[in-house]
Amino acid sequence: MDDRNGWGRNRPEPTGPTLDPPESFVEQANVTDTSDDQPLGEQFERDWPDCWERAADLLTWDESYDTVLDDEDAPFYEWFTDGKLNAAYNCVDRHLEAGRKNHAAIRWEGKQGERETYTYQDLSVAVNEFAAALRDLGVEADDVVTIYLPMIPELPIAMLACARIGAPHSVVFAGLSADALATRLDAADSEYLVTCDGYYRRGDAFNQKSKADNARLSVDQDVETVVVDRLGDELPHVLGDGESDYHELREAFAGASVEPVSRDAEDMLFLMYTSGTTGDPKGVVHSTGGYLAQVAWTARSVLDIRPEDTYWCAADIGWITGHSYIVYGPLALGTTTVMYEGTPDYPDRDRLWEIIDRNAVDIFYTAPTAVRAFMKWGESYPDSHDLSSLRLLGTVGEPISPGPWRWYHDHIGNGECPVVDTWWQTETGAILISTLPGVDEMKPGAAGPPLPGIDVAVVDEDGNAVDPGQTGYLTIPRPWPAMVRTLYDGDDRFRAEYWDRFSDPDVGVWRYFSGDTAAVDEDGYITMLGRVDDVINVASTRLSTMEIEGAIADVDGVAEAAVVGRSGQQGGTEIYAYVSAASDRDPGETLRETILERVETAIGPIATPEAVVFTPELPKTRSGKIMRRLLEDIANDEELGDTSALRNPEIVGEIQSERNRS
Ligand code: WTA
């Protein structure tokens, strides 16, 4: 494996002083260790995989399953085989039947200060009407419906409407470009799209439909499209052929009721494209039963969600965090989930604290990149609000170092809320590594032990467990219910991406490789150290260096490009691009700007490099491989590793001085 992100540099930092979960929290926690002397993990261990029945028990099944785990055809595992259920029924209808129809399901906070509350009854009406409309447009079970919406209530409504009729959704983050949408429509062969006219970005109307239009023009299939009118007169639009208006459809199907389609536990609930080790995004396939069971279980045990809570995960539903922990997990538990359309600093830097204060939010889950920003802005913003409703804090997306962890704990949680640092991935579907907030002590800087029912092994190149404190590859030797089932692009790629590296099929050993490096301490706590593949986590968003390189290489005048991550000041990663221009091109400002524009067009503004460093050539090994590790060292201003394998060692000095100039 080409250690593109140079794990050699990453050594575990010492964790901060250990903290016990606060007594007041433990007393009320959903999961505590009271049954006997055994730590909870060991209780689970005794009856693995049947322990996962406890997760399945959180759901309402149309038909119960026969087998908890079927591992006959590993690594194509099946969970809760022959069970039948509907995800939308579990997230909506059953709460009405339980007499909770007037309970708030979604509290939406719009960018312009708008507020809307959807009770479970309101949600049910919306989901049924839109499900009827989708059917009328021709959507059948197993048709992939692509959803390209910002953080407006119609996004979860559309997802649940799809789930109701058994049509897998493929949500594409609204900030991605037309090209990125087209790639995803094409890869999923999707003939249905739900999008909107536009949305507000920092107060300005921004046109989303034109991106959707361009994407539709560049795919082969006809794409039947539903447009949500978000902006009204602010951004007038006309509907063309194959386009319908969301609100008119809702009206046409007012009061409709659609029987939830009973799905096999293994049927695909959704597809989520994510960055992989090649330029093409991977279509991660998630199941209905195993996925929903485990997200509900972790939402309950790790995020400590109860129906009467107001819970807020400040992520975007366009990524996996929002799927699992804004939509499916919280709604399966029947709680109130807050949905925020805006950014943390608009209109001012106290926006999130104002929302927590006003809604009396109990649980807050965000990304380390956000915590670092809050810390930089200073405590006067949270201090000006009453945050005493908070009971638990969480983070996800990248490592959180002890400093920001402490700040979050002290200034947002007032020292009274446990902080859970949750490790998981698009592919894992649900949280796999975290402390249980009512059970485990916390070690700032370490995510925690594997959750009950989860097995993690940190191994060396040969797959042997490394000693405590040593860095290794994070692998998962046993399957788990919410795991990726395959890649939409094919089973071969699924095996190649996750299984081939550390499995030994001849002796029946299958081990999932996460792409992350980690270290385990004497207590089994895992510190995450970053990716070893072409994935970089920028502002807690997962991007592919290869995809960015591909976009840059497309620019006329660029000969070659290499993209690496550079550590930001307070943690976090920035995108650093090295580019060699074609011999007849002047590597100047114009080319730099064209490159930045091209990345924005190909992927979206989130992928725009922080720096573009021009170099006459990229450093290469004698076999012609770009030495990304070296480029990363240069970007990070670190001492350079061994350069003896380079074919063109003289280039290193030139790149360094160019870097210092830029
Ligand atoms: C990283 C997001 C350290 C990791 C749910 C992983 C983390 C990638 C943590 C997945 C954490 C996520 N500590 N690193 N608590 N959580 N990561 O697919 O590198 O967008 O492989 O899923 O984010 O990103 P993805």
CATH of the domain at 613: 3.30.300.30
Question: Rounded mean pLDDT of the chain?
Answer: 93
**CATH number of the domain enclosing 193:** 3.40.50.980
Other beta carbons within 10 angstroms of residue 640's beta carbon come to 12
Main-chain dihedrals φ then ψ at residue 552, nearest 5 degrees: -65, -40
Instruction: Identify whether 446 is part of a domain.
Output: yes
pLDDT of residue 44: 82
Per-residue pLDDT tens over the stretch 102-140: 999 999 999 989 999 999 999 999 999 999 999 999 999
Instruction: Identify whether 16 is part of a domain.
Output: no
What is the separation of C-alpha 395 from the centre of its chain, rounded to a whole number of angstroms?
12
Give yes or no: residues 212 and 285 share one domain: no
Contacts of 56 (CB under 8 A, 6+ apart): 65, 68, 80, 83, 289, 293, 481
Rounded distance, CA 246 to CA 95, Å?
26
Give yes or no: residues 243 and 366 share one domain: no
Instruction: Identify whether 114 is part of a domain.
Output: yes
For the Cβ of 394 lying below 6 angstroms from any atom of ligand 1, the answer is no
Q: Does the predicted TM-score (pTM) go above 0.90?
A: yes
Per-residue pLDDT tens over the stretch 383-433: 999 999 999 999 999 999 999 999 999 999 999 999 999 999 999 999 999
pLDDT at 34 over 50: yes
Q: Which amino acid, one-letter code, is at 210?
A: S
Give yes or no: residues 185 and 278 share one domain: no
- 115-119, 360-364, 539-543: least confidently modelled range: 539-543
Give yes or no: residues 133 and 222 share one domain: yes
Calculate how far, in angstroms, residue 425's C-alpha sits from the geometric centre of ligand 1.
5
For the Cβ of 515 lying below 6 angstroms from any atom of ligand 1, the answer is yes
Instruction: Identify whether 43 is part of a domain.
Output: yes
Q: Domain boundary residue among 498, 528, 558?
A: 528
Rounded distance, CA 134 to CA 147, Å?
12
For the Cβ of 282 lying below 6 angstroms from any atom of ligand 1, the answer is no
Give yes or no: residues 102 and 130 share one domain: yes
Per-residue pLDDT tens over the stretch 55-69: 999 999 999 999 999
Calculate how far, in angstroms, residue 401's C-alpha sits from the geometric centre of ligand 1.
14
Q: Given the CA of residue 540, which atom of ligand 1 is nearest to it? A: 23
Give yes or no: residues 236 and 283 share one domain: no
The residue to mutate among 420, 473, 516, 525, having the most atoms of ligand 1 within 8 angstroms of its beta carbon, is: 516
Specify whether the CB–CB gap between 548 and 558 falls below 8 A: no
Calculate how far, in angstroms, residue 72's C-alpha sits from the geometric centre of ligand 1.
29
The residue to mutate among 398, 538, 573, having the most atoms of ligand 1 within 8 angstroms of its beta carbon, is: 398
Average pLDDT over residues 461-481: 96
For the Cβ of 528 lying below 6 angstroms from any atom of ligand 1, the answer is yes
pLDDT at 485 over 50: yes
Give yes or no: residues 196 and 307 share one domain: no
Give yes or no: residues 428 and 489 share one domain: yes
Q: Distance of CA 447 to CAs 441, 451, 518, 632, Å? A: 11, 11, 10, 25
pLDDT of residue 150: 97
Going by C-alpha positions, the residue among 447, 437, 445 that lies closest to residue 413 is 437
Rounded distance, CA 106 to CA 178, Å?
29
Give yes or no: residues 74 and 102 share one domain: no
Q: Given the CA of residue 422, which atom of ligand 1 is nearest to it? A: 15
Instruction: Identify whether 401 is part of a domain.
Output: yes
Going by C-alpha positions, the residue among 4, 41, 2, 10 that lies closest to residue 518 is 10
Give yes or no: residues 481 and 385 share one domain: yes
For the Cβ of 316 lying below 6 angstroms from any atom of ligand 1, the answer is no
Rounded distance, CA 515 to CA 561, Å?
23
Give yes or no: residues 233 and 301 share one domain: no
Looking only at the bridges linking them, the beta strands covering 198-201 and 204-207 are: antiparallel
pLDDT of residue 575: 95
Q: Which is more confident, 279 or 273?
A: 273
Other beta carbons within 10 angstroms of residue 624's beta carbon come to 7
Instruction: Identify whether 509 is part of a domain.
Output: yes
Q: Domain boundary residue among 218, 244, 261?
A: 261
**CATH number of the domain enclosing 38:** 3.40.50.12780
For the Cβ of 527 lying below 6 angstroms from any atom of ligand 1, the answer is no
The total of structural domains in the chain comes to: 3
Looking only at the bridges linking them, the beta strands covering 558-567 and 541-544 are: unpaired
Extended beta strands in 545-657, E state: 558-567, 573-581, 611-614
Q: Given the CA of residue 400, which atom of ligand 1 is nearest to it? A: 13
Going by C-alpha positions, the residue among 221, 222, 225 that lies closest to residue 210 is 225
Q: Domain boundary residue among 239, 261, 283?
A: 261
Calculate how far, in angstroms, residue 396's C-alpha sits from the geometric centre of ligand 1.
6
Per-residue pLDDT tens over the stretch 208-231: 999 999 999 999 999 999 999 999
Instruction: Identify whether 1 is part of a domain.
Output: no
Specify whether the CB–CB gap between 404 and 375 falls below 8 A: yes
Give yes or no: residues 239 and 292 share one domain: no
Q: Which domain holds residue 361?
A: 23-87+267-528
Per-residue pLDDT tens over the stretch 635-652: 988 888 778 888 888 889
For the Cβ of 368 lying below 6 angstroms from any atom of ligand 1, the answer is no
Nearest CA to ligand 1 atom 13: 399
Rounded distance, CA 29 to CA 8, Å?
40
Nearest CA to ligand 1 atom 20: 542
Q: Given the CA of residue 324, which atom of ligand 1 is nearest to it? A: 5
Contacts of 202 (CB under 8 A, 6+ apart): 343, 346
For the Cβ of 422 lying below 6 angstroms from any atom of ligand 1, the answer is yes
Calculate how far, in angstroms, residue 423's C-alpha sits from the geometric centre of ligand 1.
6
Going by C-alpha positions, the residue among 279, 318, 270 that lies closest to residue 149 is 318
Other beta carbons within 10 angstroms of residue 645's beta carbon come to 15
pLDDT of residue 10: 56
Angle (CA) 203 356 320, round 5°: 75
Instruction: Identify whether 207 is part of a domain.
Output: yes
Q: Given the CA of residue 321, which atom of ligand 1 is nearest to it? A: 5
Q: Omega before 17 cis (within 30°)?
A: no
For the Cβ of 274 lying below 6 angstroms from any atom of ligand 1, the answer is yes
